[in-house]
Amino acid sequence: MVIFNLFLKISLQKLYNNNTRINWKRKPHRRTQEEIKIIERYFTENDKIIPRIGDIVKIGFKIREGNKERAQYYEGTTISKKNSGINLSYTTRKTSYGVGVERNFLLHSPRVDSLIVKQNSKVRRSKLYFLRLRSGKAARLKRKFY
């Protein structure tokens, strides 16, 4: 445990900006939030597009088939977002051959190859779970133009 704490201390000091300071004499359970924030800041990608609720997005995610990896694309409507920071995930829904399919994606996952917002929609809800009960033209959302 002592070796791990020493390793964590050294690796976190490398991640710091010169201005950031952590009081290492604090109790370990009080330090952890600061350490987690620093690690999250290091691993989050700031150039990622965060989809809004109601957006139609095209997501390319990596799939391993045997020895090869390829990108498979999934296009659907974003119906919910959860969490924040490095744990931000969103749920997309599409109808495929008359069956509704929902998938959850982590925004900062290394498996997500690309994310393209195809269309924005005007919505007044934070969760669009009512789309599960609708099909066809009833499941359309009003388009939002910028």
**Could you read off the pLDDT tens digit of each residue along the chain, which spans 146 residues?**
555 565 566 666 655 554 556 666 666 666 677 777 777 777 777 778 889 999 999 999 999 999 999 999 999 999 999 988 888 899 999 999 989 999 999 988 889 999 999 999 999 999 999 999 988 889 888 888 87
Kindly state whether residues 93 and 119 are assigned to the same domain.
Answer: yes
pTM to 2 decimal places? 0.72
Whether residue 52 contacts residue 118, with contact meaning beta carbons closer than 8 Å, is answered with no
Whether residue 109 contacts residue 35, with contact meaning beta carbons closer than 8 Å, is answered with no
35: containing domain: 2-43
Give the count of domains, the chain. 2
> Residue 69's domain is classified under what CATH number?
2.30.30.790
